[in-house]
Amino acid sequence: MIVERGWPYYDSWNIELRMRFGECRKVNMERVREVRLAEPPSVEDVRDLLGRVEVPIPGDYHDADVGAIIQKALNDTNPFVRGAGDNLVSDQAGAPARSGPRW
């Protein structure tokens, strides 16, 4: 979406972006060079990579969750159409499950 200066919502988006950039932190991408990823990357590869750049995967994420992240990163043809987690598998009761495909 492009919102030009002077158009409605420009100021609110500008404020939102400034707030979000203020909350973010730098990631040392030089450490990425230390990691060799398989093709496709394994769950262990991704955990190691994100750990080295100090963006660890939360402890309650299972291997299936990391696999779903890998799947979406490699195979999503248009990430702007769908949101994260939209293609998760449902449990038998029909409720969305937290885990994606099993790797």
Identify the pLDDT of residue 90.
44
Rounded to whole angstroms, what are the CA distances from 52 to 26, 46, 47, 56, 77?
Answer: 13, 10, 9, 8, 28
Query: Which pLDDT value is given to residue 3?
Result: 76
- pLDDT number for residue 41: 95
**Per-residue model confidence (pLDDT) at position 81:** 63
**pTM tops 0.85, yes or no:** no
Q: Two tokens at 42? A: 């394994």
Distance, in Å, from the CA atom of 42 to the CA atom of 35, rounded to the nearest integer, reads: 12
Q: Looking at residue 46, what is its pLDDT? A: 95
Structure tokens at 68: 């779903």
**pLDDT tens, position by position, for the chain (103 residues)?**
677 888 888 888 888 889 999 888 888 888 888 888 999 999 999 999 999 999 989 999 999 999 999 998 898 777 666 555 555 544 454 444 444 443 3
**What amino acid is encoded at 77 in this protein?**
T
pLDDT for residue 10: 87
Distance between CA atoms of residues 18 and 1, nearest Å:
17
Residue among 103, 79, 78 at smallest CA distance from 89: 103
Residue 45 confidence (pLDDT): 94
Backbone phi and psi for residue 89, each to the nearest 5 degrees, phi listed first: -75, 140
